[in-house]
């Protein structure tokens, strides 16, 4: 059987014709649709309270860039909150903690880029629902994966209790 050859030619797609994330319907996964091999691309339509990533995190092996087309997104960072308005762009270097969300009433429309496309070293802030311990843990990125709600739960290192991802902890 011959080895498949990657198609490096230009490719154009309509966002509405691409795969909407089944677990997070506010995100469209464009990377495969456009044939990108060196950068991940996601399109977002965030309603009030929706997040780009679901919690305060850092990719130690990937930089992330967000371009806000309309609305205003708030990013929690180690240096405090940063509002990114329509027509503005923000970059997070590898290892820089952040969590972006729509804190306003208007829909946020944005594009997110990550390079390299697959992050295998994501660090997340997590809180125990039982003893309230806050800790970080590492895992590979789950963007584009199916059944992310069935990922193994992270147990609290102090009491073994159930945990949840959180926004920027007050101690950071």
Are 27 and 54 spatial neighbours (Cβ–Cβ below 8 Å)?
A: no
What is the Cα 122 distance to its own chain's centre? 10
d(CA 77, CA 73): 13
Structure tokens at 167: 């926004």
> What would the pLDDT profile of 26-73 be if each residue is shown by its tens digit?
999 999 999 999 999 999 999 999 999 878 999 999 999 999 999 999
d(CA 4, CA 81): 46
Q: List, in order of start, the domains of the chain with CATH numbers.
A: 19-165 (2.60.120.10)
Are 108 and 43 spatial neighbours (Cβ–Cβ below 8 Å)?
A: no
d(CA 111, CA 31): 12
Q: Helix, strand, coil % (nearest 5) of the chain?
A: 5, 40, 55
> What would the pLDDT profile of 86-119 be if each residue is shown by its tens digit?
999 999 999 999 999 999 999 999 999 999 998 8
Residue 6 clears pLDDT 70, i.e. is over it: no
For the whole model, what pTM was predicted? Answer: 0.85
User: Any alpha helices (H) in 9-84, and if so which ranges?
Assistant: 31-34
In this predicted structure, what is the pLDDT of residue 28? 95
């Amino acid at each position: 059987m011959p080895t498949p050859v990657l198609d490096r030619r230009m490719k154009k797609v309509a966002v509405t014709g691409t795969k909407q994330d089944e677990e997070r319907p506010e995100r469209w996964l464009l990377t495969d649709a456009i044939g990108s091999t060196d950068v991940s691309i996601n399109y977002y339509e965030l309603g009030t309270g929706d997040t780009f990533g679901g919690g305060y995190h850092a990719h130690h092996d990937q930089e992330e860039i967000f371009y806000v087309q309309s609305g205003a997104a708030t990013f929690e960072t180690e240096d405090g909150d940063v509002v990114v308005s329509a027509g503005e762009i923000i970059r997070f270097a590898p290892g820089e903690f952040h969590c972006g969300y729509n804190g306003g009433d208007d829909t946020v429309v944005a594009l997110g880029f990550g390079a390299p496309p697959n992050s295998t070293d994501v660090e997340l802030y997590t809180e125990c629902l039982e003893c309230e311990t806050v800790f970080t843990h590492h895992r590979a990125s789950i963007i584009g994966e199916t059944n992310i709600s069935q990922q193994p739960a992270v147990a609290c290192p102090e009491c073994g209790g159930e945990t949840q991802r959180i926004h920027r902890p007050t101690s950071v």
